[in-house]
Chains A and B, each alone.
Chain A
């Protein structure tokens, strides 16, 4: 219970943030130029049919009334209907958010498993060839736009070599989605023991995840290297060395652990921008994710969808920040919730 209370406090602190997001997302969507009634009235609409569509969408009501309806629906868990996809926003999010999360998490996992060791190696041997390889790799990764890397990978591994499956989204068309439990295909397929589908999902995931990983490696590797350098030159490491501890113990037991704090912070930031910003990767790999959903909703002035997206992202970030804070406390006992 002692540990739970600060967490609950943190969640309570998030409530005003969420309320603010609800109000701002509502106001901002209405401030978008463009008229959804015109857009959705279709190709050959006349003035009367545009008005009809407007009232059907409830957009003929004054703004405060619209807001009231929106809050009322929200309170009952109804995010409204997206006009551009024709589905309830909640359904869209429930389907697309796991797709984006699966891709982003896989990419970050891959990215971390390469970038962190690479950063550590570079820091322990600054100026060596490892350091240079690290620098070249991350600079290349970050300087190539994701859609370019994506198309390049498709060209080489799908078009030329034929190793990768058709870049057709999360599963090739001959497979059926595994029964939905988490919405993560890898987890859901594993849960029912359908390894054939699991492998297929993994294959589909590989190229987009590599694309994203290449892009996200740079900040993580650079941050690991910088933090490790700082940690290695600090007093406590000198003391540890003087005390004759093993190199291994010093490096991984003390230096890395202290260097992890900024890395975790960077990871949180990278995660948040990747989740919302991998629109291009989603488009190239026909990945039904949240980024392209939001962009298309914005283009169409699809109010409910935009609001739902902003709200979902806000909740996600609140949760993410909480997780990162807890991770801080676990990594560095000096940081407690009490001190904040």
Chain B
């Protein structure tokens, strides 16, 4: 009988046939067969990042199955784990690039030996088509491209097969790193065009279900809501991944995921709760907890709520928060503390600890000085979907506020409303927020979270000096002498005005039991390109 169990070996579902009895072989020794099984609590809803409604976990498909012009390097962190390196931008499809003297024209020379998975060469024409697609389809990809100054198709030109030119409206330090994020991935435009229709010129339907890139993997099987199977592209231009086949299973229950990784039936459990991370690490399972760059869990104080316009009220709250207790209870001590820092910032780094700490006497002093010495009532809003960290945090803060005379009640908001209420309408007086910026510049964080009207400025904060500082610094090179002082001033204003009170920098937790080479990436998705079976 021909076995239909070809999934673990051979070229693809239905293609290769084998009669090996995998059922008995694989379970304990999946790793030795170059096959790894990973589990995550999320689900992938599209193979195409550009599609409307594609969720964050799906971004990993763009990373694993497609290439970009440039990529970030990889570095080893102090604890020995791997992380992408924001400081190094290295060649990917582009073997070299030049920036014009005025910084507005970027000329890329492409490698001429890279082929798509169907064997056709990757040309500048494909890059142009892919970039046009990213800036045209709207939604998140278009917004992200815009962050790097890439807004219109006429900015991209395929000069010849290996020369690609980007013309910026104004020079920006964000342009080059923005080419290394998952969004500007390069599709096989010939295949895409062959599957495009008049109603669907960008082949959204086809790319939604098929990977047509030149990347390290291709998706050979996708059962939405259940699993995704990657298979290595042995003709990939980069260093070949150690894993030949990666099976990614959707397992919603954290308890089940924990049992699976502890038993060793799966080799990687991606994005596990802080509690499990702590306990698994204590139990001897390898756990990588990498602080997420440019991200902080904060308490938002909305300026549309009268008492929060009083600076003393804001400071009173900042001194009342039981930081350490929250960090231990809600984060299980994973991540970095963001309180008790120096009085003024000494380095232009972000995030950095605020000068505030828990001191109820100071809190009472500030409140007494304010116009609300007798306290007030305020609802404390949290997102039901993120209740794992938000609920304990909110409860501890509510308890602490009660001690200084501020009465607060917990208000839980379901997931779909949360974004509307907190970020779009910005109507929640006291709430929690956790924006993290992909591009690792302090000014990029301030742009999204401290500028008037911007999405993650859930506090309706506006400060004219901050507006000017961010506008000026955002596209400036970091070696410009004006840049560092500008950032320090931003931090100073942020910690004086306190529209957002930092709590801690969260960590991304990944448990491994039989897999090596996990690397942290800013996009917080699983990059399979460095993964391999454990060597021991």
Q: Are the C-beta atoms of B249 and A169 separated by less than 8 Å?
A: yes
Chain B residues near A265 (CB-CB < 8 A): none
User: Which chain A residues numbered 301 to 333 have a C-beta less than 8 Å away from chain B?
Assistant: 301
Query: What 0/1 pattern do residues 237 to 269 of B give for CB contact below 8 A with A?
Result: 000000000010111110110011011011000
Q: Is A175 an interface residue (CB 8 A)?
A: yes
Q: Is A69 an interface residue (CB 8 A)?
A: no
Chain B residues near A151 (CB-CB < 8 A): 253, 255-256
Chain A residues near B46 (CB-CB < 8 A): 86
User: Which chain B residues numbered 382 to 435 have a C-beta less than 8 Å away from chain A?
Assistant: 385, 414-417, 419-420, 423-424
Chain A residues near B55 (CB-CB < 8 A): 84
Q: Is A292 an interface residue (CB 8 A)?
A: yes
Q: Is B507 an interface residue (CB 8 A)?
A: no
Question: Which stretch in A27-35, A220-228, A237-245, A266-274 binds the other chain?
Answer: A27-35
Q: Is A285 an interface residue (CB 8 A)?
A: yes
Q: Are the C-beta atoms of A32 and B416 separated by less than 8 Å?
A: yes
Closest to A44 in B: B143
Considering the chains assembled together, what is the distance between the CA atoms of A14 and B55 in angstroms?
38
Considering the chains assembled together, what is the distance between the CA atoms of A285 and B251 in angstroms?
8
Chain A residues near B226 (CB-CB < 8 A): 169-170, 286, 288
Q: Are the C-beta atoms of A83 and B140 separated by less than 8 Å?
A: no
Contact of A53 among B139, B227, B250, B385 (CB under 8 A): B139
Considering the chains assembled together, what is the distance between the CA atoms of A57 and B51 in angstroms?
12
Chain A residues near B251 (CB-CB < 8 A): 167-169, 286
Q: Are the C-beta atoms of A40 and B414 separated by less than 8 Å?
A: no
Question: Which stretch in A102-110, A122-130, A154-162, A253-261 binds the other chain?
Answer: A154-162
Q: Are the C-beta atoms of B259 and A155 separated by less than 8 Å?
A: yes
Considering the chains assembled together, what is the distance between the CA atoms of A116 and B133 in angstroms?
62
Contact of B424 among A50, A84, A162 (CB under 8 A): A50
Considering the chains assembled together, what is the distance between the CA atoms of A168 and B385 in angstroms?
23
Chain B residues near A139 (CB-CB < 8 A): none
Q: Are the C-beta atoms of A39 and B140 separated by less than 8 Å?
A: no
User: Which chain A residues numbered 118 to 139 have a C-beta less than 8 Å away from chain B?
Assistant: none
Q: Are the C-beta atoms of B5 and A300 separated by less than 8 Å?
A: no
Q: Are the C-beta atoms of A285 and B225 separated by less than 8 Å?
A: no
Q: Is B80 an interface residue (CB 8 A)?
A: no
Closest chain B CB from A195 CB (angstroms): 11
Q: Are the C-beta atoms of B253 and A283 separated by less than 8 Å?
A: yes
Considering the chains assembled together, what is the distance between the CA atoms of A40 and B416 in angstroms?
9
Q: Are the C-beta atoms of B8 and A42 separated by less than 8 Å?
A: no
Q: Is B52 an interface residue (CB 8 A)?
A: yes
Chain B residues near A38 (CB-CB < 8 A): 419-420, 423-424
Considering the chains assembled together, what is the distance between the CA atoms of A155 and B253 in angstroms?
13
Q: Is B448 an interface residue (CB 8 A)?
A: yes
Q: Are the C-beta atoms of A292 and B252 separated by less than 8 Å?
A: yes
Contact of A35 among B37, B252, B266, B416 (CB under 8 A): B416
Contact of B247 among A56, A167, A173, A282 (CB under 8 A): A173
Q: Are the C-beta atoms of A175 and B139 separated by less than 8 Å?
A: no
Chain A residues near B481 (CB-CB < 8 A): none
Chain A residues near B166 (CB-CB < 8 A): none
Considering the chains assembled together, what is the distance between the CA atoms of A166 and B259 in angstroms?
9
Considering the chains assembled together, what is the distance between the CA atoms of A293 and B138 in angstroms?
27
Q: Is B345 an interface residue (CB 8 A)?
A: no
Q: Are the C-beta atoms of A44 and B448 separated by less than 8 Å?
A: yes
Contact of B416 among A39, A85, A167, A196 (CB under 8 A): A39
Chain B residues near A46 (CB-CB < 8 A): 143, 455
Query: What 0/1 pattern do residues 492 to 534 of B give for CB contact below 8 A with A?
Result: 0000000000000000000000000000000000000000000
Closest chain A CB from B50 CB (angstroms): 11
Q: Is B224 an interface residue (CB 8 A)?
A: yes
Q: Is B45 an interface residue (CB 8 A)?
A: yes
Chain B residues near A84 (CB-CB < 8 A): 45, 53, 55
* Max chain B C-beta neighbours (<10 A), residue from A43, A283, A292: A43
Q: Are the C-beta atoms of B139 and A42 separated by less than 8 Å?
A: yes
Considering the chains assembled together, what is the distance between the CA atoms of A162 and B43 in angstroms?
27
User: Which chain A residues numbered 46 to 61 have a C-beta less than 8 Å away from chain B?
Assistant: 46, 49-50, 52-53, 56-57
* Max chain B C-beta neighbours (<10 A), residue from A154, A176, A178, A196: A176
Chain A residues near B6 (CB-CB < 8 A): 176
Closest to B47 in A: A86
Contact of B256 among A44, A167, A176 (CB under 8 A): A167
Closest to A174 in B: B22
Closest chain B CB from A289 CB (angstroms): 9
Query: What 0/1 pattern do residues 31 to 72 of B give for CB contact below 8 A with A?
Result: 000000101000101100001111110100000000000000
Q: Are the C-beta atoms of B224 and A87 separated by less than 8 Å?
A: yes
Q: Is B174 an interface residue (CB 8 A)?
A: no
Q: Are the C-beta atoms of A53 and B138 separated by less than 8 Å?
A: yes
Q: Are the C-beta atoms of A166 and B225 separated by less than 8 Å?
A: no
Q: Are the C-beta atoms of A41 and B416 separated by less than 8 Å?
A: no
Q: Is A45 an interface residue (CB 8 A)?
A: yes
Chain A residues near B420 (CB-CB < 8 A): 33-35, 38-39
Q: Is A277 an interface residue (CB 8 A)?
A: no
A96 with B263, Cβ < 8 A, contacts A35-B420, A284-B255 known: no
Q: Are the C-beta atoms of B416 and A300 separated by less than 8 Å?
A: yes
Considering the chains assembled together, what is the distance between the CA atoms of A169 and B223 in angstroms?
12
Q: Are the C-beta atoms of B54 and A44 separated by less than 8 Å?
A: no
Q: Is A200 an interface residue (CB 8 A)?
A: yes
Q: Is B7 an interface residue (CB 8 A)?
A: yes
Contact of A45 among B140, B224, B265 (CB under 8 A): B140
Closest chain B CB from A204 CB (angstroms): 12
Considering the chains assembled together, what is the distance between the CA atoms of A194 and B271 in angstroms?
36
Q: Is B75 an interface residue (CB 8 A)?
A: no
Closest chain A CB from B318 CB (angstroms): 27
Q: Is A36 an interface residue (CB 8 A)?
A: yes
Q: Are the C-beta atoms of B415 and A83 separated by less than 8 Å?
A: no
Q: Are the C-beta atoms of B416 and A299 separated by less than 8 Å?
A: yes
Q: Are the C-beta atoms of B23 and A200 separated by less than 8 Å?
A: yes
Chain A residues near B140 (CB-CB < 8 A): 41-45, 49
Considering the chains assembled together, what is the distance between the CA atoms of A300 and B45 in angstroms?
13
Q: Are the C-beta atoms of B208 and A286 separated by less than 8 Å?
A: no
* Max chain B C-beta neighbours (<10 A), residue from A52, A57, A147, A173: A173
Q: Are the C-beta atoms of A56 and B138 separated by less than 8 Å?
A: yes
Closest chain A CB from B34 CB (angstroms): 14
Chain B residues near A166 (CB-CB < 8 A): 260, 263, 265-266
Supplied contacts A45-B455, A158-B259, A286-B249, 19 more A-B pairs, CB within 8 Å:
A39-B416, A40-B53, A42-B139, A43-B140, A44-B140, A46-B143, A52-B138, A57-B52, A87-B224, A95-B225, A155-B259, A166-B260, A167-B260, A174-B5, A176-B5, A286-B251, A293-B225, A299-B415, A299-B416
A residues bordering B, Cβ < 8 Å?
Answer: 32-36, 38-46, 49-50, 52-53, 56-57, 83-87, 92, 95-96, 147, 151, 154-155, 158-159, 162, 166-170, 172-178, 194, 196-197, 200, 282-286, 288, 292-293, 299-301
Which 6 A-B pairs have CB atoms at the shortest separation, nearest pair first?
A34-B416, A42-B140, A83-B53, A52-B138, A86-B45, A40-B53
| 17 A–B contacts from the bound complex (CB under 8 Å) | A33-B414, A34-B414, A35-B419, A39-B416, A39-B420, A49-B140, A52-B139, A53-B139, A56-B138, A56-B139, A85-B43, A85-B225, A86-B208, A147-B253, A175-B5, A283-B252, A286-B249
